[in-house]
Amino acid sequence: MDRRIVITGLGVLASTGIGKNEFWAGLKEGRSGMKPITLFDMSTCRTKLGGEISDFKAEDILGQKGLRNLDRTTKLTLCASQLAMDDAGIKYPLLEAETDEFGVSLGSTMGSVWSISEFDKEALRNGPRSVNPALFSNTVMNSPASHVSIRFNIQGFNSTISTGFCSSIDAIYYALNMLELYDYNVVLSGGVEEMCEQTYKGFHKIGHLAGSRPGKEEVNCPYDKRRNGIMFGEGAAMVILENLEHARKRNAKIYAEILGYGTCFDPKSRNIYSPKAEGAIEAIKMCLDDAAIGIDDIDYISASGNSTLDCDYMETNAVKNVFGGRAKSIPISSIKSMIGESFSASGALNLAASLGVLEEEFIPPTINYVQPDKRCDLDYVPNKAQKNRVKNILIDSFSPTGSNSTLTIGKYKESRPK
């Protein structure tokens, strides 16, 4: 990357905490966000748990005005965005003189599923004329990002990226490109996923959830021998990305610098993680090359591991292939052991956690790690957070449908070696 891009604000909501401080505290404590789901009827499911944000009240953050017709995905996105704007010290709504230099880039894939389903259900039951037209906008995938721009008067570009599990990492990269190549100074970027009945029960039906198949335990334990599927978690994380020069000018606090990005689609993946990890390996290598750093420069890996047999093994294999003899000495942990698999939001939530790692000098644990798996033999930071000073972090985001994206961030330094 030619122009230096830094992170100056963070807003996050997860099942373990709302706001960066509560979120980071939960990671330090190894707190599980898995709890009985209350948002919809679970009587037909073998599984009962998920990473629901049970204390979520959008009005506590946004106020009462303008929320009536918004769905959960949009409310989560708006709350994370406002928290990020507040954290960065950016006043809103933006003034007309500055709004064209500000953009929005959101990762979202299944955010409209509930709204589409409920809207169509009403139309099918009572006819098209019975639907509430005010709810139609929620059925469009780019609605959450659009509402962000409307609320904060952001008149620059507005994009929604949908690449499945990798959506939020790819959305951040899209934002980086806009900052580097065009006249934008600030971008609000990240990802969102809501706890949606249709999505949850769909994954339950195909046996993708832990405990959804007969005889399997409902346990969320990445890299552990007992793992048998994901636990679904909802959340949203948004960051303020800013040109370094612009951040310096307004004397902004800088959390980290974006160093590099890599992506590779693996066509051999057909709804299953490829054990050869060819796409993941290439994505990591591209990311390190883009960052102009070597394998000895990575101090921590924020993992994609989600408690499925294939993903955890594939990621382990990829790390070993890229880092060679050093692989076993790099701590790698999965915050999904605490917050669940949040699909489109997962990469952004990993980024939110990684900012805490840099800021508060700790490495979050992989909780519920009890029975080691011979095929997964790296340092997964089992069960207890580590006190550790970290400079550079690799963030993994891998999908069973072939997408593989990675991001590298580093502790900000006044001058960066070229």
Could you report the per-residue pLDDT of 362-394, keeping only the tens digit for each? 999 999 999 999 999 999 999 999 999 999 999
pLDDT at 417 over 70: no
**Cis status of the peptide bond prior to 93, with omega within 30 of 0:** yes
What is the token pair recorded at 213?
Answer: 């198949």
One-letter amino acid of 175: A
Q: Give the integer Cα–Cα distance in Å for 373 and 313.
A: 9
Residue spans of the domains in the chain: they are 5-249, 261-410
Confidence of residue 116 (pLDDT cuts 50, 70, 90): confident
**Residues 315 and 198: beta-carbon distance below 8 Å:** no
**Residues 159 and 182: beta-carbon distance below 8 Å:** no
What are the backbone dihedrals phi and psi of residue 196, each rounded to the nearest 5 degrees, phi first? -110, 130
Where on the phi/psi map is residue 170: left (φ > 0), alpha (ψ -120 to 50), or beta? alpha
Can you tell me which residue has the tokens 């100074």? 185
Domain 5-249 identical in fold to domain 261-410: yes
pLDDT at 134 over 70: no
What are the backbone dihedrals phi and psi of residue 262, each rounded to the nearest 5 degrees, phi first? -145, 145
What is the token pair recorded at 148?
Answer: 């962000």
pLDDT tens-digit map of 250-259: 999 999 999 9
Q: How far is CA 133 from CA 33, 77, 123, 193, in A?
A: 36, 22, 11, 24
What are the backbone dihedrals phi and psi of residue 74, each rounded to the nearest 5 degrees, phi first? -65, -40
One-letter amino acid of 112: S
Looking at the domain that runs over 261-410, which CATH code has it been given? 3.40.47.10
Can you tell me which residue has the tokens 């993946």? 269
The domain made up of 5-249 has a fold known as Peroxisomal Thiolase; Chain A, domain 1 (3.40.47)
pLDDT tens-digit map of 305-336: 999 999 999 999 999 999 999 999 999 999 99
Residue 115's pLDDT is 75
- Higher pLDDT, residue 415 or 191: 191
pLDDT at 123 over 90: no
What are the backbone dihedrals phi and psi of residue 300, each rounded to the nearest 5 degrees, phi first? -160, 145
**Sign (positive or negative) of CA dihedral 95, 98, 100, 101:** negative
The H or E element containing residue 290 is helix 278-291
What average pLDDT score do residues 69-96 get? 97
pLDDT at 286 over 50: yes
The H or E element containing residue 10 is strand 5-14
**Residues 38 and 15: beta-carbon distance below 8 Å:** no
pLDDT at 200 over 70: yes
Residue 224's pLDDT is 98
Q: Give the integer Cα–Cα distance in Å for 197 and 218.
A: 18
Residue 90's pLDDT is 98
Confidence of residue 418 (pLDDT cuts 50, 70, 90): low
Residue 1's pLDDT is 43
Confidence of residue 139 (pLDDT cuts 50, 70, 90): confident
Q: Give the integer Cα–Cα distance in Å for 323 and 285.
A: 10
Can you tell me which residue has the tokens 């070229």? 418
Q: Give the integer Cα–Cα distance in Å for 418 and 406.
A: 21
**Residues 10 and 239: beta-carbon distance below 8 Å:** yes
pLDDT at 410 over 60: yes
Can you tell me which residue has the tokens 């990591």? 284
pLDDT at 343 over 60: yes
Decide: helix, strand or coil at residue 161: strand
Residue 137's pLDDT is 76
Confidence of residue 120 (pLDDT cuts 50, 70, 90): low
DSSP assignment, residue 250? T
**Residues 210 and 227: beta-carbon distance below 8 Å:** yes
Q: What angle do CA 367, 373, 375 make, to 5 degrees?
A: 125
One-letter amino acid of 352: A
Q: Which of 364, 222, 392, 218 is nearest to 297 (CA)?
A: 392
pLDDT at 158 over 80: yes
What average pLDDT score do residues 37-58 get? 96
Q: Give the integer Cα–Cα distance in Å for 153 and 147.
A: 10
Q: What angle do CA 124, 125, 127 make, to 5 degrees?
A: 65
Query: How confident is the prediction for the chain on average, in pLDDT?
Result: 94
